[in-house]
Chain A
Amino acid sequence: MVSVVNTVDTSHEDMIHDAQMDYYGTRLATCSSDRSVKIFDIKNGSQILAADLRGHEGPVWQVAWAHPMFGNVLASCSYDRKVIIWKEEGGTWDRLYEYDGHDSSVNSVSWASHEFGLLLACGSSDGSISVLSCLGDGTWEPHKISNAHTIGCNAVSWAPAVIPGTLMDAPSGPKSTPVKRFVSGGCDNLIKIWREEDGQWAEEKKMEAHSDWVRDVAWAPSIGLPSGTIASCSQDGRVFIWTCDDPAGGSWTPKLLHKFGDVVWHVSWSITGNILAVSGGDNKVSLWKESTDGQWKCVSDVNKGQGISSGPDETRPEQ
């Protein structure tokens, strides 16, 4: 079921922290503790190093591709407290913008849906979240949310621009503007949903289920179903699926996907939002899918870096 189609030798000299494909699935951006960001062209099964971006002075934690309608734009965040937005122009990559408004490690960057323009959320260990928006004239305006998560924000993820339930609405109904929302998770074990109102960011919802640091949050892509879905994972080994059937976004209910025996670092939704990839501290990636009766089932267990597929792991240690 899972097969390795490409093995990319990144030649990073230290631990790799993130790897993201671009919109077309033909370019791969990686970042590492060796302070570099690398971009590979992986067309036709081969890999060519397209760029080696140097500029960070600390380990680079995450990279994020912007929508291609803005050109080839990549954001990276680092322990050096900086966020750098890179842009390819005429085959060469340059810094488009550098943001140094954080007082501590910037752990996560996430681009909003392209409908909102170039809009980047950054979560930092200083407890704050910055929302950087590109104004039309090429300047950038940061909005800072102070004290978003005490002792640190670990992850940010935007809500899709599709309004929940639009798939069911009458096609002639008046078009309402999607609300800008994102979810964040932090060292205070909390998950928070933020919403923009009159240009200001306000905490819309505070959600508590994890008993340790929230390591990652991921808002599922939407095709306009009436419910919103968020996945969260934590140091405590638990992965929760949060759903909200209320179009106003008021009530979210958590459902425990699984309790893993080790820290869960990363959750990622498939493009259509129906498969969740869970990456744990035990070097394993498992794929989860919702069955017809609403239960989440493990459909595949993959040791990182191996294409071997296996059935659901029934003997996974419960704690």
Chain B
Amino acid sequence: MKLKEIERTAHQAWSPAAHHPIYLAAGTSAQQLDATFSTNAALEIFELDLSDPGFDMKLQGSIKTANRYHKLLWSSHGLGSGGPGTLIGGGDGGLIVLYDAARILAGDVEAELGQSVRHTGPVRALDINPFQNNLLASGANDSEIYIWDLNNFATPMTPGAQSQPLEDVGCVAWNCQVQHILASATPSGKAVVWDLRKNEPIIKVSDHTNRMRCSGIAWHPDVATQMVLASEDDRMPVIQMWDLRFATSPLRVFENHSRGILTIAWSRADPELLLSCAKDNRILCWNPNTGEVLYELPTSTQWCFDIQWCPRNPALISAASFDGLLSIYSVMGGSLSAQSQRQVDMISSSFGNFDPFGTGQPLPPLQLTQPHVPAATVLPLKKPPRWIRRPVGASFAVSYCLHGTQTFKMCGSLPGGLVQSHYVYVSQVVTEPHLLSRSAELQAAGHTGHLREFCHAKVQASIDPLEKDIWSFLQVNLEPDPRSKFLKLIGYNPDELAQKRPWLHVVVTISAIELSISSYSFADVDGLIGQALLVGDFEAAVELCLGDGRYADAIILAVAGGADLLERTQERYFDKSSGIGGTFCIIKVSELQDEQALSLSFLVDALGSRLEMEDGGRLCAQACLCYICAGNVDKLASCWDGTHQCSDSLALQVGMYPAVGIFGTNLTCRLVICLKIRLSFNNVATGNCTHLRNGDTREQPYWIGLHLLHSCQTSKNNIFSHRILAYFFSISFSFSSSTPPPMMFILLQPAQVQPPEKIEKRPIPEEHASLRIAFDGLVQRCLIAASDPQTKRKLDDANKRLEFLYDKLREHSVSALSLVSRDFKTRNVNVGIYFKNIISCLRAKMPSHLELL
């Protein structure tokens, strides 16, 4: 398939393989004239831009030259120093000229590096040694062959005595495997192989028919002893393959061209691809190992005189034809239909005002016969080229890493020397065995109910004091009487406290009275409240709260202090504030009646918050301990996250996992953890933390998912279970999939036994029931009134939102013990805001039905 086109009658040379981007140099051909009869000569460099779909190539540099060329080469000599290399041209009169490609690209007219006219006649044969890019072989008339050193261009050496009789040297080629072997061929059909170390010809290859007129010679890229010769003679348009181990007659003869072959080119990327172009206008691609024609290039109706493989992009070839076109083709096939039309358009427009002879009159309108398109589709090579034969690699599968086999290359000298291995290996990858064993250990402890022993063992094993503390506190949580043990751990002796109590009570009361009377700003009211609560003196604590204006706290504390205290506090509260907001608190209090364990949690929680705030986070570790005491996993997680952000990828897991496992009976806790994990994922994005991404192939989401799923099942909360599943199995597993994978199946089994859809939802708590009736009625009315599908969809959405809200309300009705009152209040406020949002949302969406609202 043709990709690019340049209107030049020129010899071409691709930039070396190591150079990026790909350039193509074009030097005006000698002994050819176009319709302008211009005798100018130029050396131009074009850039190949495959991202541009057009046929044009961008001219990157150009110089006018005095000579035209019989041969052009682009050596990587000088490429190492960053430049694009050296261009070498062979011209008439024995001229060899060197140019610095970098200078041409820079627009420097003085690009010539050196030249020599030592040869006789036109220099048609040039080749660069593939091993030493400074070694240039050249050939011209009178059997002249010179070897040049580009670093010292002045004096060439000869490979040996000139062969007799004196003939033109039509082509030279360096061996691709042995660097001191050179072959040359003459139009009379003789090929000579030279050994530069011995400085003499070592073998002469000649066909007994004497009809060969060598136009091209090429060594096998892989097999050192094989080469091909192409014949220009119309009576014998063949390519002969010779093996020097058996140099009496050609190994193979490839016959398909009907007229003489002008050039051949052997692909370096795939030794089974050999191009030839001949005077029968065809360009063929052969498999030189079998002689089979693999491909015929759809070409113009003109001879090609030069053809080259692109060294960097193995699928590309360039061909220069006598009709003045330099074309770039892909051998991979493709569709021509789009391009042929473009070509027609381009030709028509370019001929519009064409006046080549300067006669002042435009040529008569060109009757462009629709160019003959052989077929819209160009088939690719019959045999896949080596460069697309990709070896099997490793692909991941579910909990497995798959390693494929690979073809092993044998010594590189056998033709197509590939030995296949037909094994595929399945391997397992475990990246964090340590974590894996830890989590298994904890899970086992959780299953057998030996969490306390587990904690104890951890306490024993801990070296870091903080870690020890954490495990001790966790352990205490599991003890029968955690409160007194906590106090003990903190360093208080309950007995001593009891003795101090009356005294403390006095202090506290006095302070409280002071506070309420003089509104004296006591610096540490929190501390006093804390002390009061610590000794279990709720009355004093309430007093302090009231004194400080913390009515809500006072009422909540009073709840814990008993009905009597509550009543008194309420009375005092109503005395102090005639506000409306207070009613809210009172209503809440009724809900909190059952939360007897509140005081300790509140106290320790508050202490934790203070610790966290103070000293710029230095006391965060201690704060964590407080949260463990309070059972406040939410805060624990955020605090832990804060302290350990960058230090250790396992930190969150270390901290959180025990917490999940131990406080895990509570759904809310787990959901909080879930949220925390989501937050830490957020950190992943900013590069701070990769807690969970750094897991093993049995990824954490699975076990977290397992835990969460478990909680969801026990709580029969299908909304959450769905969402959590969606989070943790969204990778490739889906709850809805008909047949989950075995591992997932085990996890999901209980859920399937009890499909969440069938679980009856709890009734909405009474205090919210009226809301539901109101909203449902509202949506119903809207639905009846809504006519267009868009509104209906929106109402659907609103319905879903409401359903979610109801679920929240239901959840609150079984309000979690560990939720401290403050959070609780905030949440209720949020619900209020949510109501407002929904109403405004409905209003915005359906102004026409506003009256219904």
Interface positions of A (Cβ within 8 A of B): 1-25, 28, 30, 33, 42, 58-59, 61, 67-69, 79, 81, 103-105, 107, 114, 125-128, 146-147, 150-152, 154, 160, 162, 167-168, 171-172, 174, 187-190, 206, 208, 211-213, 215-216, 221-227, 236, 245, 265-266, 268-275, 277, 279, 281, 283, 285, 287, 289-294, 299-300, 302, 304-307
Contact = CB atoms under 8 A, between A and B. Distances in A.
Nearest to B699: A272
A25 B431 contact: no
Contacts of A274: 690, 693-695, 699
Interface stretch (B277-285, B383-391, B596-604, B612-620): B383-391
A59 B407 CA distance: 15
Nearest to B328: A151
A285 B335 contact: no
Interface string B401-412: 111111110000
Contact of B389 (A25, A59, A160, A272): A59
A75 to B, nearest CB: 15
A211 B380 CA distance: 25
Nearest to A70: B738
15 contacts: A15-B389, A25-B397, A28-B426, A61-B390, A67-B737, A103-B335, A114-B734, A126-B335, A127-B335, A151-B334, A168-B682, A206-B51, A222-B730, A223-B681, A223-B731
Given A152-B315, A171-B804, A8 B424 contact: yes
Nearest to A276: B396
Contacts of B738: 68-69
A2 B429 contact: yes
B396 A275 contact: yes
A20 B53 CA distance: 35
Contacts of B697: 270-272, 275
Contacts of B392: 16-19, 30, 266, 279
Contacts of A14: 420
Contact of A23 (B316, B333, B732): B732
Contacts of B800: 172
Given A9-B422, A187-B315, A273 B687 contact: no
B694 A150 contact: no
Nearest to A62: B390
A10 B693 CA distance: 35
B319 to A, nearest CB: 16
Interface string B48-71: 001101000000000000000000
Contacts of A154: 388
Given A8-B423, A206-B51, A20 B693 contact: no
A319 to B, nearest CB: 10
Contact of A103 (B334, B688, B737, B804): B334
B685 A15 contact: no
A1 B737 contact: no
B395 interface: yes
A58 to B, nearest CB: 7
B670 to A, nearest CB: 15
Given A152-B315, A226-B682, A305-B403, A4 B384 contact: no
A30 B384 CA distance: 19
Contacts of B804: 171-172
Interface of B: 1, 3, 20-21, 50-51, 53, 312-313, 315-316, 330, 332-335, 338, 377-380, 384, 388-408, 418, 420-431, 433, 646, 649, 678, 681-682, 684-685, 687-690, 693-695, 697, 699, 701, 723, 727-728, 730-732, 734, 736-739, 741-742, 797, 800-801, 804
Contacts of A69: 734, 736-739
A20 B732 CA distance: 16
A103 B312 CA distance: 24
Contacts of A151: 1, 3, 50, 313, 315-316, 330, 332, 334
A208 B687 CA distance: 24
Contacts of A168: 678, 681-682
A30 B425 CA distance: 11
Contacts of A127: 334-335
The 9 closest A-B pairs by CB, nearest first: A279-B393, A266-B393, A21-B397, A104-B333, A188-B50, A6-B426, A211-B20, A150-B50, A126-B334
Nearest to B687: A294
B430 A1 contact: yes
Given A105-B380, A274-B693, A292-B649, A269 B423 contact: no
B420 A15 contact: yes
A20 B422 contact: no
Given A8-B424, A20-B402, A125-B334, 17 more contacts: A1-B429, A2-B429, A15-B389, A25-B741, A28-B426, A104-B334, A152-B332, A167-B678, A168-B678, A168-B681, A225-B684, A227-B685, A266-B393, A268-B394, A279-B393, A279-B394, A283-B406
A277 B697 CA distance: 13
B395 A266 contact: yes
Contacts of B21: 211
B685 A245 contact: yes
Contacts of B408: 283
Nearest to B729: A223
A167 B282 CA distance: 61
A125 B629 CA distance: 65
Nearest to B649: A292
Given A17-B390, A125-B388, A274-B695, A221 B732 contact: yes
A79 B384 contact: yes
Contacts of A302: 394, 403, 427
B694 A289 contact: yes
A209 to B, nearest CB: 12
Interface core residue of B21, B333, B727, B741 (most chain A CB under 10 Å): B333
B315 A281 contact: no
Contacts of B313: 151, 187, 212-213
Nearest to B421: A305
B699 A277 contact: no
Contacts of B424: 7-8, 10, 16, 19, 28, 30
B394 A285 contact: yes
A55 to B, nearest CB: 17
A25 B399 CA distance: 8
Nearest to A14: B420
Contacts of A7: 423-426
Contacts of A67: 737
Instruction: From B395, B407, B684, B800, name the one whose CB has the most chain A CB atoms within 10 angstroms.
Output: B395
Given A9-B423, A265-B393, A277 B685 contact: no
Given A8-B423, A23-B732, A265 B20 contact: no
B731 A128 contact: no
A245 B684 CA distance: 11
Contacts of B403: 2, 4, 285, 302, 304-305
B394 A289 contact: no
Contacts of A226: 682, 685
Contacts of B388: 61, 79, 105, 107, 125, 154
A213 B394 CA distance: 20
A206 B604 CA distance: 56
A17 B315 CA distance: 20
A129 to B, nearest CB: 13
Nearest to A155: B390
Nearest to B741: A24
A273 B53 CA distance: 35
Nearest to B419: A15
Contacts of B397: 20-22, 25, 271
Contacts of B399: 25, 271
Contacts of B427: 2-5, 302, 307
B742 A24 contact: yes
Contacts of A305: 403, 405-406, 421, 423, 425
A16 B422 contact: yes
B428 A3 contact: yes
A22 B736 CA distance: 18
B801 A172 contact: yes
B407 A15 contact: yes
